[in-house]
């Protein structure tokens, strides 16, 4: 898609010379580097299986003006630009492409202002999600979105991927908390999208269009976010089930009763086992699946208590092995902290077993989860592949993790086949290939299976309209659409 202008050199050395001669002088000293080690570090996010080669330089922008200078230069020369936040994504969205400028905004990490009457905060994109939460706490305000990567991912990256998390089942996703964006476009111009006010319908919702666009439309250089009063301390309940399908039935029936949990997570037996290996948590590995439910009762302990009781009732009625509730905040926090360690536990497993991991992210209508899990059980048997599952079950957002031995090509092939089959199953059950991780390069081919041909044409028309040269993050989300 990217077409260099006629006099832009293809040769890496010549391209680098051009960048050093013409772009570097427009940037603060040291902002641009071609150091091989640094380039390697910055060339990839955490999607180890995606390509990440050939970056020409890394620019660490310190200001909006730096971002604009890069884009003006890149558009003048038809050079691809890969925007980067904290590179904690797992779909390859921040990975290098041949001859590109890696444009990191990690150094733009200031809080620019908190407005308590309006309940907003204005930030630069590089600030880490948890750091923002910590900054807001003294104001009695909270920014709810809490992706699993909350301690390491940046708000800019969260906006670029419309990040979700554990609280979504009650509190929604990143998109629900963005009021105004300042974005630098492909040609280096700066646009302010959306009003800062609580409501506003002046013009098209281009702010929303840029959220989740994975760096393909522009680069967020400032965001004004909507906040809520600090969330109340939740009550927690845990239930174990003979298998995942029964746990899925519990979720669907609980939610159909009008429940409003602030968290509803599922962990399968393999995950429980890997967690015990990781931290000796004494989780019940005999269970086929565990559900971890929290309710904050929107601030009312009695409501939360009723919700815990309703959960216990539904869990028992569908055949739970055990149900336990806790009103001890320390206990609850420990359980949630354990849930948040699923990924490190997987990493310990892969390191110990010379394995690699493919992480799935389908999202289904909640009521279809039992069907998904039934097929998943078959798939494990047929393939002999180790598949662990954590899920934001209240949202129907499932993360099967598929493991394979790194030195076993045949197992790797079966793992990839399982990865693809689960995505297809997600689509067949009325779901989507990605609930929150994004498309990146990992699922670009699959995006073309999910979107209908007319929608694909719309995507390409909008991309062409906003980035006519196709220099923003080429080869990623939109690269396989045809229509």
Using CB under 8 A as the binding rule, the residues of this chain from 285 to 344 that contact a second copy are 297-300, 302-303
End-to-end CA distance of the chain: 16
> Which residues ranging from 152 to 181 are in contact with a second copy (CB under 8 A)?
161-162, 164, 168-169, 172-173, 175-176
Per DSSP, the chain holds a count of helices (H) and strands (E) of 16, 18
Distance, in Å, from the CA atom of 97 to the CA atom of 473, rounded to the nearest integer, reads 8
Distance, in Å, from the CA atom of 145 to the CA atom of 332, rounded to the nearest integer, reads 19
Closest CB to a second copy among residues 339, 366: 366
Q: Does 252 bind a second copy (CB under 8 A)?
A: yes
Question: In this structure, what are the phi and psi dihedrals at residue 468, rounded to the nearest 5 degrees?
Answer: -60, -30
Choose the stretch contacting a second copy; rule: CB under 8 A; options: 36-44, 268-276, 378-386, 427-435.
Answer: 427-435
Q: Does 217 bind a second copy (CB under 8 A)?
A: yes
Q: HSE (CB half, 13 Å, CA atoms) of 56?
A: 26
Q: Does 458 bind a second copy (CB under 8 A)?
A: yes
Least separation in angstroms between CB 250 and a second copy: 12
> Which residues ranging from 74 to 103 are in contact with a second copy (CB under 8 A)?
none
Distances from the Cα of 135 to the Cαs of 116, 150, 329, 392, in angstroms? 13, 14, 22, 27
Written as six digits, the tokens of 338 are 């354990």
Distance, in Å, from the CA atom of 8 to the CA atom of 43, rounded to the nearest integer, reads 22
Choose the stretch contacting a second copy; rule: CB under 8 A; options: 97-105, 207-215, 274-282, 335-343.
Answer: 207-215
451: Cβ–Cβ under 8 A, 6 or more apart, which residues? 459, 481
Choose the stretch contacting a second copy; rule: CB under 8 A; options: 97-105, 149-157, 204-212, 274-282.
Answer: 204-212
Choose the stretch contacting a second copy; rule: CB under 8 A; options: 96-104, 266-274, 378-386, 443-451.
Answer: 443-451
Q: Does 222 bind a second copy (CB under 8 A)?
A: no
Helix H or strand E segment including 22: none
269: Cβ–Cβ under 8 A, 6 or more apart, which residues? 285, 287, 288, 289
Which of 116, 286, 317, 378 is the binder for a second copy (CB under 8 A)? 116
Which of 15, 60, 119, 414 is the binder for a second copy (CB under 8 A)? 119
Q: Does 199 bind a second copy (CB under 8 A)?
A: yes
391 in Cβ contact with 398 (< 8 Å): yes
> Which residues ranging from 392 to 411 are in contact with a second copy (CB under 8 A)?
392, 394-397
Q: Does 203 bind a second copy (CB under 8 A)?
A: yes
Which residue do the tokens 């004004």 mark?
224
Which of 5, 189, 286, 317 is the binder for a second copy (CB under 8 A)? 189
Least separation in angstroms between CB 90 and a second copy: 13
Least separation in angstroms between CB 62 and a second copy: 22
Distance, in Å, from the CA atom of 443 to the CA atom of 43, rounded to the nearest integer, reads 18
Least separation in angstroms between CB 456 and a second copy: 9
Which of 57, 67, 185, 235 is the binder for a second copy (CB under 8 A)? 185
> Which residues ranging from 363 to 382 are in contact with a second copy (CB under 8 A)?
363-367
Which of 418, 437, 441, 442 is the binder for a second copy (CB under 8 A)? 437
192: helix, coil or strand? strand
> Which residues ranging from 14 to 33 are in contact with a second copy (CB under 8 A)?
none
Identify the bridge partners of residue 389 per DSSP, sorted by sequence position: 400
Least separation in angstroms between CB 474 and a second copy: 15
Distance, in Å, from the CA atom of 119 to the CA atom of 139, rounded to the nearest integer, reads 10
Choose the stretch contacting a second copy; rule: CB under 8 A; options: 62-70, 251-259, 267-275, 347-355.
Answer: 251-259
157 in Cβ contact with 88 (< 8 Å): yes
Closest CB to a second copy among residues 5, 464: 464
How big is the site for a second copy, counted in residues (CB under 8 A)?
Answer: 93
Distance, in Å, from the CA atom of 429 to the CA atom of 181, rounded to the nearest integer, reads 35
Closest CB to a second copy among residues 355, 433: 433
Q: Does 209 bind a second copy (CB under 8 A)?
A: yes
Burial pattern 347-357, b for ≥16 Cβ within 10 A else e, equals ebbbeeeebbb
């Amino acid at each position: 898609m990217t077409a260099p202008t006629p006099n832009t050199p293809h040769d890496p050395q010549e391209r680098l010379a051009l960048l050093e001669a013409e772009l570097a002088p427009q940037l603060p000293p040291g902002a641009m580097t071609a150091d091989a080690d640094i380039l390697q570090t910055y060339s990839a996010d955490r999607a180890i299986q995606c390509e990440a080669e050939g970056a020409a330089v890394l620019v660490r922008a310190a200001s909006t003006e730096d971002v604009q200078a890069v884009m003006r230069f890149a558009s003048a020369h038809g050079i691809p630009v890969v925007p980067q936040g904290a590179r904690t994504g797992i779909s390859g969205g921040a990975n290098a492409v041949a001859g590109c400028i890696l444009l990191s905004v990690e150094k733009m990490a200031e809080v620019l202002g908190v407005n308590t009457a309006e309940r907003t905060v204005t930030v630069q994109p590089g600030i880490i999600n948890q750091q923002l939460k910590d900054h807001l706490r003294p104001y009695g305000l909270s920014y709810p979105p809490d992706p699993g990567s909350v301690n390491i991912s940046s708000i800019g990256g969260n906006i670029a991927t419309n990040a979700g998390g554990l609280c979504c089942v009650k509190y929604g996703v990143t998109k629900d908390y963005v009021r105004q964006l300042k974005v630098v476009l492909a040609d280096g111009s700066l646009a302010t999208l959306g009003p800062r006010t609580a409501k506003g319908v002046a013009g098209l919702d281009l702010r929303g269009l840029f959220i989740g666009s994975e760096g393909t439309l522009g680069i967020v250089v400032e965001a004004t976010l909507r906040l809520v009063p600090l969330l109340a301390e939740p009550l927690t309940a845990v239930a174990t089930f003979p298998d995942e399908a029964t746990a899925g039935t519990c979720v669907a029936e609980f939610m159909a009763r009008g429940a409003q949990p602030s968290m509803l997570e599922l962990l399968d037996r393999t995950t429980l086992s890997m967690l015990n290996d990781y931290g000796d948590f004494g989780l019940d590995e005999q269970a086929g699946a565990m559900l971890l439910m929290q309710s904050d009762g929107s601030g009312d302990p009695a409501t939360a208590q009723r919700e815990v009781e309703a959960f216990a009732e539904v869990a028992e009625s569908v055949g739970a092995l055990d149900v336990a509730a806790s009103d001890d905040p320390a206990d609850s926090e420990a359980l949630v902290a354990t849930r948040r360690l699923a990924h490190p536990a997987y990493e310990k497993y892969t390191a110990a077993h010379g394995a690699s991991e493919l992480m799935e992210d389908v999202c289904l209508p909640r009521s279809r989860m039992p069907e998904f899990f039934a097929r998943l059980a078959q798939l494990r048997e047929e393939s002999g592949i180790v598949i662990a599952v954590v899920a934001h079950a209240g949202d129907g957002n499932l993360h099967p993790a598929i493991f394979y031995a790194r030195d076993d090509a045949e197992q790797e092939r079966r793992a990839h086949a399982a990865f693809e089959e689960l995505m297809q199953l997600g689509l067949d059950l009325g779901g989507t290939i990605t609930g929150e991780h994004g498309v990146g390069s990992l699922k670009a081919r699959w995006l073309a299976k999910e979107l209908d041909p007319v929608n694909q044409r719309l995507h390409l028309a909008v991309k062409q309209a906003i980035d006519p040269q196709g220099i923003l993050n080429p080869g990623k989300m939109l690269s396989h659409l045809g229509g």
